[in-house]
Amino acid sequence: MSTKIADTYAIINIADLANVDFAQVGETDETTIRKSLDDSQFVLKWNTTPSFISDNTVVPVEELTHDEALVLMATSAWSEEIPVE
Sorted by where each begins, the domain ranges of the chain are: 8-73
Q: Quote the CA–CA distance of 21 and 29 in Å, as a whole number.
A: 9
> Contact 65/5 with Cβ under 8 angstroms?
no
- Write out pLDDT tens, residues 26-62: 999 999 999 999 999 999 999 999 999 999 999 999 9
pTM: 0.88
Asked if pLDDT for residue 2 goes beyond 70, the answer is no
> Contact 50/8 with Cβ under 8 angstroms?
no
What burial class does residue 38 get, using C-beta atoms within 10 Å of its C-beta: 0-12 exposed, 13-18 middle, 19+ buried? exposed
